[in-house]
Each structure stands twice: as C-alpha cells, then as structure tokens.
A and B are shown apart, each in its own frame.
Chain A
Amino acid sequence: EPEVTQTPSHQVTQMGQEVILRCVPISNHLYFYWYRQILGQKVEFLVSFYNNEISEKSEIFDDQFSVERPDGSNFTLKIRSTKLEDSAMYFCASSVGSVNTEAFFGQGTRLTVV
C-alpha cells in the first residue's frame, strides 16, 4: 500500500541552526501539506502546496519557514534559525484532490531544538 514517508524520524538541532525535514508523498498525489504537533497540543496546519506553489498557509508559517518540491518526488520543509518553541512533531501529508478527499499522513519527524 502506498504511503507517505518522512525522514528523519528524529532530529535534534541547536537553537539558531537551520533544519530541513523531508517527505516523499504518495506518487500520484497532487496536494501536499505540512502540519505540526507540539507535545500535548493539537495538530496544527502549517501550509498546503499545489502546482509548485503555496496555496494556503497558516499564521504559524512565517518567514522562518519555507517549502519546496525540489525534484518532483520530495517535499521539504525548511526551518531557518530554529527556536526552542519549534520543538514539535512535524507531519507531512498528501492527497489526490483538495478539500473533499482524504489526506494521507506520514509517521512524522520529531524535531527537538536544544
């Protein structure tokens, strides 16, 4: 069964460093998303991506964040100058269509900023 894969599963980084979280969405999917879940809190939407551009972003997704689909298979989230409060589980998701279709989630990357 096709699945969304994320690497790495855990990432520890020093405050102020840049991190790149990687995702391989399901191959025939067209819409890609990033979500985060701070420990003990709800899953929060960060950004959606379609047709090689951001289609929607939340207020969390500020200039510190960027997304890219560099090679037609990977979908990356870059966090510049990480802060302690960026520590969270980051989930990638993809879907065939937009609002009325199921989003498939990856296993997540646990980011710890120290």
Chain B
Amino acid sequence: AQSVTQLDSQVPVFEEAPVELRCNYSSSVSVYLFWYVQYPNQGLQLLLKYLSGSTLVKGINGFEAEFNKSQTSFHLRKPSVHISDTAEYFCAVRSGGGGADGLTFGKGTHLIIQP
C-alpha cells in the first residue's frame, strides 16, 4: 500500500517570498509522483510530475519539485509567489506495479498569499 503525507494543511506566505510545500510518501515499490493544484471552484490541474530521470522537475507557473528517494520526499517549491498562486495543492503518488492504478493523494496544503 502507498500513502502520502502533507504535513502542512495551510501555509501563509507574503507575496514575492519563496515557498516550500512539503510532501512525503511511502510505498513498497517504485513510484511516480505528481503535484496537482486546485483553484477555487475548479478541478485538479497538473503542476508537475516525476516519472524517472532527473530528480529536479520543473512545472508550470514557475514551480519545481525535487524527488528525494532516501528521504521519500517530493517537496514543491517556488522562489517567488504571486497572489494568483493562492490555491489548494495536492501531492499524489502512483505505484509502478503496473496496471491502471489510481492516484493516492495527500490531504492537500492551502497556500495563502498575503499582500
């Protein structure tokens, strides 16, 4: 079984400051990792994904994340946030066991950008 932990339910940050949203996972097999963003009253949009290769992955809207296998983490970062980044951010994992496995999501982190 796999699980995802997002320790911070809410992260307030001032505009133009850097931010890191934490994500840790557990899985007994190889994993594929994703960050999704949910703006108010909208569906889930993929920010970035780690499938293989370079552990630093870059996504849309200036976000990036680093896969750290030894720490089983996939933290999301942005060097300078904008008011429009206010949203709910979900980390998700899929196992590499084959088949059409569903995503396992974390509880989400609400990013609040303060002017």
Contacts and interface: CB of A to CB of B under 8 A. Distances in A.
Interface residues of A, number: 29
Interface of B: 32, 34, 36, 42-46, 49, 51-52, 90, 92, 94-108
10 contacts: A31-B100, A35-B102, A43-B90, A45-B102, A47-B102, A48-B102, A99-B96, A100-B32, A102-B49, A105-B36
Contacts, number: 75
B105 A99 contact: no
Interface string A14-55: 000000000000000001010100000111111111100001
Residue in B43, B45, B46, B100 whose Cβ sees the most chain A Cβ within 10 Å:
B100
Contact of B43 (A47, A99, A108): A108
For the residues of A in contact with B, the DSSP-based class is: strand
Contacts of B107: 41-42
A38 B40 CA distance: 15
A94 to B, nearest CB: 11
A31 B98 CA distance: 13
Nearest to B104: A45
Interface string A91-103: 1010000111011
A58 interface: yes
B99 A55 contact: yes
A100 B106 contact: no
A58 B97 CA distance: 16
